Amino acid sequence: MKRSRFTDSQIIGILKQAEGGSPVPKLCREHGISSAANAPPHKPASPTNQHA
């Protein structure tokens, strides 16, 4: 398993800041977190949209 760049206590601190109302994109910039890490997960393609 890949080792995290952040300690557990750092992650908890960042999450508490987000819960406290800090904008997530701002927190990502401040802590050097990729904006892709903060993106919502992709939805799987529905069967009607897949190509044959």
Q: pLDDT value at position 12?
A: 95
Distance (Å, rounded) from C-alpha 26 to C-alpha 31? 9
Task: Give the pLDDT of residue 8.
Answer: 93
Q: What pLDDT shows up at residue 2? A: 75
Q: Max Cα separation, the chain?
A: 48
pLDDT 10s digit of each residue in the chain, 52 long?
Answer: 677 788 999 999 999 999 999 999 899 999 998 877 777 777 776 666 556 5
The gap between the terminal CA atoms of the chain, to the nearest Å, is 36
Who contacts 6 (Cβ-Cβ below 8 Å, separation ≥6)? 14, 31
Distances (CA, A) of 35 to 29, 45, 46: 8, 23, 26
